[in-house]
């Protein structure tokens, strides 16, 4: 029902960002509380119809999912929280693939690219994404290449700093410095 509301507002001529963000927070909190297997994939499949018309809403939802996982205002047990975090980490390849596909197929506007960088920063900062996966993923090239774009620079630097802080002295930072 809440996802349908998000789909409904995506059809409006002007989307109220604050309203959209609140719906995304509600969906993320509910997903955390339910913690059903495959819930991330189910949510993305439900929102597939609005990828072309409202990618910012989907990116907002993807950005708040990892944050809500560890938000102490959502009253759940530590076990459920950890299981949901595990599910988010396991869905990282799918999420990163979705983000790359969004970049490749939509030729997105700057605001969408900025939101992709914000989303990446939040996933990398909040979740324990395996170093081997992150160090070889093509999404790192997008982050590095965004540094040369003034409109993307701030969000790109934030995502890069998160990666460097979290993965200091690792394959990730080595690859960032020498191979991208």
Last residue of a domain, one of 66, 90, 114: 90
Instruction: Say yes or no: 74 and 151 in one domain.
Output: no
pLDDT digits (tens, 9 = 90+) for 80-114: 999 999 999 999 999 999 999 999 887 778 889 99
Instruction: Say yes or no: 79 and 144 in one domain.
Output: no
Last residue of a domain, one of 90, 120, 142: 90
Q: Judge whether 102 and 108 are in contact, CB under 8 Å.
A: yes
Instruction: Say yes or no: 115 and 47 in one domain.
Output: no
| pLDDT the model gives residue 167 | 85
Instruction: Say yes or no: 86 and 98 in one domain.
Output: no
Cα separation, 96 vs 120, whole angstroms = 8
Structural domain total, the chain: 2
Instruction: Say yes or no: 73 and 106 in one domain.
Output: no
Residue 99 makes CB contacts below 8 A (sequence gap 6+) with: 62, 116, 119, 120, 139
pTM given for the model: 0.89
Q: In degrees, to the nearest 5, what angle opens at C-alpha 46 toward C-alphas 152 and 155? A: 10
Last residue of a domain, one of 21, 56, 90: 90
Give the mean pLDDT of 20-39: 92
Q: Mean pLDDT, the chain, as a whole number?
A: 89
Residue 176 has pLDDT above 70, yes or no: no
Cα separation, 96 vs 85, whole angstroms = 16
Instruction: Say yes or no: 47 and 118 in one domain.
Output: no
Residue 157 domain boundaries: 91-180
Q: How many CB atoms lie within 10 A of CB 34?
A: 11
Instruction: Say yes or no: 63 and 109 in one domain.
Output: no
Give the mean pLDDT of 145-163: 94
Instruction: Say yes or no: 178 and 124 in one domain.
Output: yes
Residue 9 has pLDDT above 90, yes or no: no
Residue 180 has pLDDT above 60, yes or no: no
| pLDDT the model gives residue 119 | 96
Give the mean pLDDT of 29-47: 91
pLDDT band at 177 (very low <50, low <70, confident <90, very high): low
Distance of CA 100 to the CA centre of its chain: 11
Give the mean pLDDT of 33-53: 90
Instruction: Say yes or no: 95 and 79 in one domain.
Output: no
| pLDDT the model gives residue 16 | 81
| pLDDT the model gives residue 174 | 66
Give the mean pLDDT of 22-42: 92
pLDDT band at 71 (very low <50, low <70, confident <90, very high): confident
* Helical (H) or strand (E) element with 107: none
Q: Judge whether 66 and 126 are in contact, CB under 8 Å.
A: yes
Q: How many CB atoms lie within 10 A of CB 178?
A: 7
DSSP notation for 10-70: HTSSS--HHHHHHHHHHHHHHHHHH--TTHHHHHHHHHGGGTTT-HHHHHHHHHHHHHHHT
Instruction: Say yes or no: 1 and 81 in one domain.
Output: yes
| pLDDT the model gives residue 179 | 60
Q: Judge whether 68 and 25 are in contact, CB under 8 Å.
A: yes
| pLDDT the model gives residue 59 | 95
Instruction: Say yes or no: 115 and 129 in one domain.
Output: yes
Instruction: Say yes or no: 69 and 132 in one domain.
Output: no
Give the mean pLDDT of 114-119: 96
Look up residue 113 and give its two tokens.
Answer: 């690219």
């Amino acid at each position: 029902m809440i996802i349908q509301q998000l789909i409904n507002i995506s059809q409006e001529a002007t989307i109220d960002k604050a309203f959209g963000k609140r719906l995304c927070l509600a969906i993320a909190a509910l997903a955390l509380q339910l913690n059903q297997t495959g819930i991330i994939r189910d949510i993305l499949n439900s929102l597939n119809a609005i990828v072309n018309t409202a990618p910012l809403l989907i990116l907002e939802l993807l950005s708040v999912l990892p944050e809500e996982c560890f938000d102490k205002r959502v009253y759940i047990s530590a076990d459920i929280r950890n299981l949901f975090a595990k599910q988010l980490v396991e869905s990282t390849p799918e999420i990163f693939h979705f983000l790359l596909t969004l970049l490749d197929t939509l030729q997105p506007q700057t605001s969408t690219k900025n939101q992709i960088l914000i989303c990446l920063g939040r996933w990398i900062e909040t979740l324990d994404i395996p170093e081997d996966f992150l160090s070889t993923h093509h999404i790192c090239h997008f982050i590095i290449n965004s540094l040369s774009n003034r409109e993307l620079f701030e969000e790109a630097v934030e995502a890069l700093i998160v990666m460097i802080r979290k993965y200091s002295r690792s394959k990730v930072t080595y690859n960032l410095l020498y191979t991208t």
